[in-house]
Amino acid sequence: MGADNNKEQLLRILAVDDSKLMRKAVARILKGVNDVVEAEHGEDAWDMLQQDETIKIVCCDLSMPVMDGFGFLERVRNSDDERIREMPVIIVTGQEDSEENRNKIFEAGASDFVSKPFDSAQLRASIKTHTRLEKTASELRRKTTEYLEKTSEFETLAAVD
C-alpha cells in the first residue's frame, strides 16, 4: 500500500518519442519525484491525455510516425478541454538547434525546448519550473472557482433579503 500511495503523490509526466531508448532515458532521469508514462507517437499521446487526467506535463519529440510533435502540439493547444489546452509541453528534439527552429517550436505552442542529446540537469530544471507553474495555475483556478461560488452565494442571499 505504501508504494501505491507514494505513486499517487508523484507528478505524472508523459514521455512521447518513437525511440524506446529515449523514452526510457527520460523516465530514468525523472524517476523518484515523477511517475513517467510513455507513448510512441502523438496519436497515442493524445489518447492518453484524454483518458488520464493525472498527467500534468508532456515531454515530446518532434519527429515521430503517425502524428509528429507539431501535430500533437496543434491538437493540445486547440483542445476544448482547458486542462489539456493549458498543459505544459516540453519539446525534446534532436532537430537542428537553430534560432529559427526554436521560434517555430514556440510559435506552435511549446512551453519549453530541450535539445537532444539532452543534459539531465536541464531536463529536470525544465520539469521543475513547469511543475511549479502548473501548481500555481491550478491553485489560482481553485481559488477563482471558490471566489465565484462565494460571489454567487452572496448575490443569492442579497436577493433573498
Q: Tell me: the pLDDT tens digits for 65-124?
A: 888 888 999 999 999 998 899 899 998 887 666 777 888 888 889 988 887 777 777 777
Compute the distance between CA of residue 56 and CA of residue 105 in angstroms, rounded to an integer: 20
Compute the distance between CA of residue 116 and CA of residue 143 in angstroms, rounded to an integer: 38
Per mean pLDDT, which range of 1-10, 30-39, 89-98 is the poorest?
1-10
* pTM assigned to the model: 0.75
**Dihedral over Cα of 64, 69, 72, 74: its sign:** negative
Long-range contacts of 114-121 (CB under 8 A, 24+ apart): 114/59, 114/90, 116/22, 116/92, 118/92, 120/29
Q: Residue 51's pLDDT is what?
A: 92
